[in-house]
Structure 1
């Protein structure tokens, strides 16, 4: 089976990837690591560079975990992209995402990708608190 990972080049993305790798090592599942973004300057911090995607691939390989790392910049909201992938792929049994603390005002104006995923996913969601340091 496959664990889908919502990845961003950040402490929360690293936390999600690390947790998913550890889980895959225990279960033998493959990982499908996805970096999704609108593809415009809306939030470029969430869009990984090719070097960052390669480091995620290298990390998985070094840990002995099989899987793929892909990027989708098709103009879709990242939450919608991940939710669509969980529905389109019958092999996805879990979705792993990273979380970070946001102020109530920040949630009001920006919404919450994580909240949208947790409330609408058709598969179990493992939400992981952001790491203190970004290691990749």
Structure 2
């Protein structure tokens, strides 16, 4: 059993990390962090640096998570972030995926964004949205 968090270095990403840490502690399971990077948009603030990923790992360890690691997953321009996240679920064998959502947008306050909606619809793991 493991928990995967799609980590981004934003307040919503930090909230997702916090929820994933709590869940990993609750169930005594491994925690995996992935930051999906679209190579053509290096200036995107959602791209975590190696230092930010390391800090996120240290945060989980300080909280008591014993088995934690992180990685950056690079995707090409035409690839979808949702598919990269789902591939990570399959590769890590995660039972739960934790995502931070920016609720709202467009004219519908329930709109979560295309990536999250795709992941919810197609994920082979349980999905926790924070």
Q: Per the shorter chain, which TM-score range?
A: 0.7 to 0.9
Relative to the length of structure 2, the TM-score reads: 0.85
Q: Which has the higher contact order (CA 8 A, sep 6+)?
A: 1
Q: CA RMSD in A?
A: 2.1
1-structure distance, mates of 2:13, 2:123: 18
Contact 1:3 1:29 in 2 (8 A): yes
Number of equivalent positions: 124
2:89 to 86, 89, 98: 86
User: What is the CA deviation profile of residues 46-103 of structure 1, one whole-angstrom value per residue up to 9, with x for unaligned ones?
Assistant: 11111211110110111111211111113242211111122334x3111111111232
1:112: which partner in 2? 114
* Structure 2: tracts of 5 or more residues without a match: none
* Structure 1: tracts of 5 or more residues without a match: 129-136
1-structure distance, mates of 2:41, 2:107: 22
Moved over 3 A (4+): none
1-structure distance, mates of 2:114, 2:43: 13
Relative to the length of structure 1, the TM-score reads: 0.82
